[in-house]
Structure 1
Amino acid sequence: MDDPRDPRRDATSETAGNDDFGNEGLTSSDTLELEFREALNLANWTSGNRLQELGERLEREVELAARHESEMAPRVLDILRRNLASAEGASVESGVFQLKPEIVLNALRNVLFNGLVEASDGTRVTVATLPVTVVQIGVCLTSYSGDGDGGSIGHRLFRHDIMRRNSAAEQDVIDFLGRRRRRGMDTSAYGDDDQPMGISDMLCRALMIYGERAMLLERSERPWRLGHGGPMPHELIVGSGRKEMAFASLEMLRKLLLDHKRFIFVPSEISDQTVVTIANSLQPLQYAVLRDTTDIIENYVQGSSYERPHYKRSGLYQAVRSFQVDAGSKVLLCVYRASAIAPGRVFYAHEDHVHEAAQIVIADAALQESRGFPNLIDIADRTCRGMFEPGGLSAQVHATLARSGSPFRFLEERRTRP
């Protein structure tokens, strides 16, 4: 792979945009407050026969907002170049870099199309009926070499409210109704007291993303591992209510992130609008290495139940803090932009391989000019959804209920509408 250190830096200075943004002296919250107060007076609303005026204002507001955003981009980049190296959580690799087209092409030919990168993605579907809930989780590996299918695994979870019978028939009924009452309030499949509970969406998602990352670690034989989402998701670090999930996740992530190191994680979106703004300020084939991810884990732990004595006695609190120090300081938060029409995106990589990772993710994302998202992750997603098609599971569940003499009894009202 090409050494990006000579051509990557973009030393060109860019001219700041126009300062005339209108509404001088007003903040965004001020203008929103003004809009809200005006909306309380129906005289300021637009009648149905004048809706064209709303469309005209919409066009003006959107065009103005897009222009202002574009004018702000060079200023954002200028601030980044001057301040990234000294910012809180900065890495020795922090900076704004520019890739040449030939470097991107070489990453495509020599790395991606040579099959040196494998992507993992998962899917999950829940079929909920009154007597049983079935959750199906599937995970697939995909690369550009061979047949494109590097392997797939699936798992199903079942929740029954009637777990077992005891000699007291009345107590059976009371327990059964109690479980139904608690079904909507349950947060995990089994609590720390080992009593049966509902299958929460958070736990199912945690199992899926655990499977995606474990698949990259244990089943992939390619040097580079490409994953969807963040490298250290909240569901895994907090265990989704299960200590064994948290301990297993920390051990697995240590091996993937700190021992293997050659990974790239690309989320579909993140909640930090500052980072999104920085990503959208980049020029095509640019990327920026922002900071480490120590603060991400800090947000998971600070003020959470992990600070309670129970978790400290179990050793989980100490394990998370140790992981924060070791992994948080080495896994870096970065942004890139693959083309002129694509939005900026976020990616995570290890500090030792962040510039190689940037070449790979930009090269793969450039294959989708308008999306600017890694094509290999999309292929893994489509492969997984095709192999673990959700409609098939639902059909099988309801066909089995029909054979049991209940073809309509447990169907939702909407499913029986003519």
Structure 2
Amino acid sequence: MITRDTLEATMALDEFKDVLQGKDTGETGPFASEPSIDPIEDVEVAQSLETEFKEALNLDSWTSGERMDQLTARLEREVEMAAKYEDDMGPRVLRKLEEALPTAPDRSVESGVYSLTVDDIAAAIRNVLFNGLVEACDGTRVSVTTLPVTVVQIGICLTSYIGTGDGGTIGHRLYRHDIMRKNGDAEQEVLDFLSRRARLKARERAQAEYGDDGQLVSISDMLCRALMIYAERAMLSERSVSPWRLGHGGPMPHELIVGSGRNEMAFASLQMLRQLLLGHKKVIFVPSEISDAAVVTIANALQPLQYAVLRNTKDIIEGYVAGSSYERPHYKASGLYQAVRNFQEDVGSKVVLGVYRASALCPGRVFYAHEDHVHEAAQIVMADSALQEARGFPNLIDIADRTCKSMFEPGGLSAQVHAALARSGSPFRFLAERNTRI
């Protein structure tokens, strides 16, 4: 997770933060030779949206379906104007970024804005990617829910550009049952069974599920996601044999660092990530998207074949810990709090956040790499992303994703569950209404 506060700490300069937030510094403006931004603009935008929202509450202001084409002119005008303004801001954002990075408090020794050539990209494709020196890992998960049982399947795939295309696949299934075994008291068993289903809301179910042994476990969506992304990173750490390992998402996801409510997962994750990120070092992580619009703005301000190394990632861990339950005595007594703090200092100070743009057609992207190898990592991820000119996203991750989904096809699990229900004499009784629509 990358928050606006994280970027603001990186940028260090209040004037740069003010520009991104639409505030006036009271001077001649934070961008050289440019007028300062009027703080009233933000208020006007909010008031404009509020006005449109209030008008939308009156259905008389809506447009009938057959006349929606009459709204096309405004749509085109609004989109074109917004895109042009974004393009105009790009060079100024980049210029301010270059000025701010040398004094940013969380800067890396490698922080800066860099450019690659077409020859650099071609060399990375020919000598590294197509030589099989990079392996990518991605996972998939699917859940089939029925009244008596919920089945969650997690699949992980490791692949490269040479060989079979399948460097290794592993899968696992989890089961939730409301009732699994007899307790010797049939009447109490029925009462408990009905009571449990009556009182547990969706969120409570995520915290009090029943596993194969009838004991309370948690296979909530967060935990299932945590298991998947743990397995992806463990696959890169333990099963990959290539010098470079390419992962999907962030290098230190919230679900793993906090353990999704389970200390054993948190400790295991910290140990595994330390080995991958500090021990191996030649790692690249690329998320599909991030929530911080300011970082995305910087990425989109880059010219094709440009990349920027922004900062280290200590503040990401800080965002997980500060003001959270980690600061409670229980976690401090267990040693988890100190383990996370040590991880923050050792790993967060060496793993850096960067942005790149692979072509003129694609958006800018975010990547993470170890400080010692960040420039090699940028060249590799840029080269792999250039193979998809319009997407600008690493092609090898997409191959791993497609391979994984074909190996662990979601419909196959659903078919198996439904077939098992049919054999039990209940082919339709436990299916949701939407699942039986034609």
* TM-score of the pair, normalised by structure 1: 0.91
Partner of 2:392: 372
In structure 2, relative to structure 1, the CA distance for the partners of 1:75 and 1:245 (3 Å cut) is same
Contact 2:277 2:370 in 1 (8 A): yes
Residue number among 345, 348, 358 corresponding to 2:365 in the alignment: 345
Partner of 1:221: 241
Q: CA deviation at 1:302?
A: 1.1
SS in 2 for 1:317: helix
Equivalent AA in structure 1 for residue 45 of structure 2: T
Q: CA deviation at 1:50?
A: 6.3
Deviates more, 1:407-416 or 1:141-150: 407-416
In structure 2, relative to structure 1, the CA distance for the partners of 1:280 and 1:212 (3 Å cut) is same
| In structure 2, C-alpha distance between the alignment counterparts of 1:291 and 1:189, rounded to whole Å | 40
2:402 paired with 1:385: no
| In structure 1, C-alpha distance between the alignment counterparts of 2:35 and 2:87, rounded to whole Å | 13
Residue number among 18, 36, 42 corresponding to 1:28 in the alignment: 42
| In structure 1, C-alpha distance between the alignment counterparts of 2:115 and 2:187, rounded to whole Å | 72
Partner of 2:206: 187
2:124 paired with 1:107: yes
Partner of 2:94: 77
Contact 1:18 1:71 in 2 (8 A): no
| In structure 2, C-alpha distance between the alignment counterparts of 1:347 and 1:276, rounded to whole Å | 11
| In structure 2, C-alpha distance between the alignment counterparts of 1:45 and 1:131, rounded to whole Å | 48
Contact 2:133 2:243 in 1 (8 A): yes
Q: Superposed, which structure 2 residues align to 1:251-266 within 5 Å?
A: 251-266=271-286
Q: CA deviation at 1:186?
A: 2.8
2:247 paired with 1:233: no
SS in 1 for 2:200: helix
In structure 2, relative to structure 1, the CA distance for the partners of 1:43 and 1:312 (3 Å cut) is closer
Q: Superposed, which structure 2 residues align to 1:329-344 within 5 Å?
A: 329-344=349-364
Q: CA deviation at 1:32?
A: 2.7
Equivalent AA in structure 1 for residue 216 of structure 2: P
Partner of 1:40: 54
Q: CA deviation at 1:309?
A: 0.7
Aligned residues: 400
Summarize deviations over 1:77-101 as a string: whole Å, max 9, x none.
1011111121121000000000011
Residue number among 127, 134, 149 corresponding to 2:144 in the alignment: 127
| In structure 1, C-alpha distance between the alignment counterparts of 2:78 and 2:246, rounded to whole Å | 39
| In structure 2, C-alpha distance between the alignment counterparts of 1:19 and 1:86, rounded to whole Å | 22
Contact 2:302 2:356 in 1 (8 A): yes
Equivalent AA in structure 2 for residue 250 of structure 1: L
Partner of 1:152: 169
| In structure 2, C-alpha distance between the alignment counterparts of 1:362 and 1:295, rounded to whole Å | 25
Equivalent AA in structure 2 for residue 322 of structure 1: N
Partner of 2:336: 316
Unaligned runs of 5+ in 2: 1-30
In structure 2, relative to structure 1, the CA distance for the partners of 1:64 and 1:114 (3 Å cut) is same
| In structure 1, C-alpha distance between the alignment counterparts of 2:33 and 2:334, rounded to whole Å | 58
2:107 paired with 1:93: no
Equivalent AA in structure 1 for residue 410 of structure 2: P
Contact 2:176 2:209 in 1 (8 A): no
Q: CA deviation at 1:409?
A: 0.9
Contact 2:177 2:209 in 1 (8 A): no
Q: CA deviation at 1:265?
A: 0.1
In structure 2, relative to structure 1, the CA distance for the partners of 1:189 and 1:109 (3 Å cut) is farther
Q: Superposed, which structure 2 residues align to 1:42-81 within 5 Å?
A: 45=61, 47-48=63-64, 51-81=68-98
2:139 paired with 1:139: no
Partner of 2:299: 279
Partner of 2:12: none
SS in 2 for 1:220: coil
In structure 2, relative to structure 1, the CA distance for the partners of 1:161 and 1:67 (3 Å cut) is same
Partner of 1:399: 419
Summarize deviations over 1:271-309 as a string: whole Å, max 9, x none.
111100000000000000000000101111111111111
Partner of 2:228: 208
* TM-score of the pair, normalised by structure 2: 0.87
Deviates more, 1:145-154 or 1:225-234: 145-154
| In structure 2, C-alpha distance between the alignment counterparts of 1:224 and 1:151, rounded to whole Å | 16
In structure 2, relative to structure 1, the CA distance for the partners of 1:222 and 1:177 (3 Å cut) is same
Equivalent AA in structure 1 for residue 273 of structure 2: L
Contact 2:309 2:352 in 1 (8 A): yes
Unaligned runs of 5+ in 1: 1-15
Contact 1:186 1:199 in 2 (8 A): no
Equivalent AA in structure 1 for residue 426 of structure 2: S
In structure 2, relative to structure 1, the CA distance for the partners of 1:149 and 1:18 (3 Å cut) is farther
| In structure 1, C-alpha distance between the alignment counterparts of 2:217 and 2:43, rounded to whole Å | 44
Equivalent AA in structure 2 for residue 28 of structure 1: D
| In structure 1, C-alpha distance between the alignment counterparts of 2:252 and 2:87, rounded to whole Å | 32
Equivalent AA in structure 2 for residue 34 of structure 1: S
Equivalent AA in structure 1 for residue 200 of structure 2: R
SS in 2 for 1:297: helix
2:375 paired with 1:358: no
